[in-house]
Amino acid sequence: MKGHNQTLFCYGSTGAGKTYTMVGHSGSYGLMHNLVKDVLAYGSFLVSYMEIYNEKIYDLLEPKELVLRECNGTIVIPNLFNKRVENIEEFEEVFRQGTKNRTTAETKLNKNSSRSHGILRISVGEHKLNLIDLAGSENNRKTGNEGIRLTESNSINRSLFVLGKVVNAILKGEKRIPYRDSKLTRLLQDSLGGSSLCYIIANIVGDSSGMGDSINTLSFASKSRNIVNILDVAQKPRGKDFKNGGCSLSELGKRKPLSIKTNMKFNIQRKEDMPLRSKEKENNPHQESFPTSTSAIGGKKKGKSSLIYRRCKEDGGKFSKNPKLTSNGSSLILKSLLEKPDIVLSPRTKEKSYRAFLKRAQEFESAKKYRLALEDYKTMQKFCDNDFIKQKIEKINMLIKKTRRKPKVTKENVLQIINQGNFFDIKKLPRVGDKRAQAIVDFVNGGNFFETLNDLKLLFSEKIVDSILFSIDDG
């Protein structure tokens, strides 16, 4: 294998001949068997066989559920059973056992349809060759899938859908590649945009009825050709535990401690460093007001009173008094800043904060982001509680109540809308934007349909689906 990890898989719709290409049939050997014969010419190797069924990984040689782990940037599968193979007869026995344990079922389009993705892994020293028989994408309207077959089909289609998203994200140069959205793409992470060699065989159906599926397959293959992997010669894993990809189980279990950062900065000056106050201030140290001069802000002339101070004074605004700090230290300061920031902030800082919050609140208000604007206006109340701010808060509250009065949308309506696959109708639904609407449209156009709204979890995280359901009336 010339020092490189390599991956080979077939891609196409159900019934296109992927399993026939990889596994073979009735004495006609497929690529898996023929490649193994070539590898055996150089000596023995370790073989493992697993499947991804309903987004879970199972060992086909020693039946058990497996988990994926990442160690030093490499995806590893702890406790995966490896069998030493010396000749072709031993391989055929191992392969027959694994194939027997693999999940298959009959559909209208395929009498022996793969219901899982099969991965045969050949390990020679530190190098690995992954031979993958992908389950095909299915149009449930054509296959007539129901019950458990429908669940399997949705899981297969979702993983292939994520595979397409990964290819698109790599080609667009996006910062986040959605490898973690599917077990299949997580396993192929090093093969797609990583450091392994990857070969893709596109299987298409010659029948005109499968024209759409064939176009999708060829489109995927065409896009995948443009992905350039950075080849890296496989290095020998450190340590003695080779079963876990060179990482000990204790190392796999380690997690970096959470680091908590904050952008808050406290600048507590000593009493002698504070600016000189007026006699009135010295007589009453608890009295607080904005500075009458704005020379420190923007370099304006002295003696010009602050606009904010004048507005607060005219409206009868009162600022919180500044009690002496106790000996509780930074914990008291932090609590005070979060609950009443005006207690610990200097007049200059208050004025600058007021201006900043006012500008941002007005921007939110212009963008009709009323809840965010309301939060900023309420924060401004802590700096200067005047009639201007009270009127703004009252106005924003009225606008929020007004925006709530929208036509009721029931779960039955939503289910009907998403199964129709109209992008613009789906985009109008609560908590659904362009990307989520497009994901639903692609899923439905792939021949799938949603029985319940909980099926949206096939595309999105549970948290996102729960937020969508929360925004919809029970009807």
Could you tell me which residues come within 8 angstroms of residue 351 by beta carbon, excluding any fewer than 6 positions away?
290, 291, 297, 306, 308, 309
The amino acid occupying position 266 is F
18 labeled part of a ligand binding site: yes
349 is in an annotated binding site: no
Q: Show the tokens assigned to 390.
A: 């009270």
State yes or no: 104 annotated in a binding site: no
DSSP 13: B
Annotated binding residue 19: yes
Burial class (CB in 10 A: 0-12, 13-18, 19+), 302: exposed
N-to-C CA span, the chain: 60
Residues in the chain: 475
Residue 410 annotated as part of some ligand binding site: no
Q: Tell whether residue 118 is among the known ligand binding residues.
A: no
124 close to 45: Cβ distance less than 8 angstroms: yes
**Dist. CA 257–CA 332, nearest whole Å:** 26
409: Cβ–Cβ under 8 A, 6 or more apart, which residues?
429, 430, 472, 473
Residue 17 annotated as part of some ligand binding site: yes
| Run of H or E residues at 201 | strand 197-202
Are 445 and 164 a contacting pair, CB within 8 Å? no
Q: Would you say 144 is a known binding-site residue?
A: no
Beta strand extents in 3-160 (DSSP E only):
6-11, 24-25, 28-29, 45-53, 56-59, 64-66, 69-71, 74-76, 83-85, 104-105, 113-114, 117-124, 127-133
- Annotated binding residues for ATP: 12-19
- Annotated binding residues: 12-19
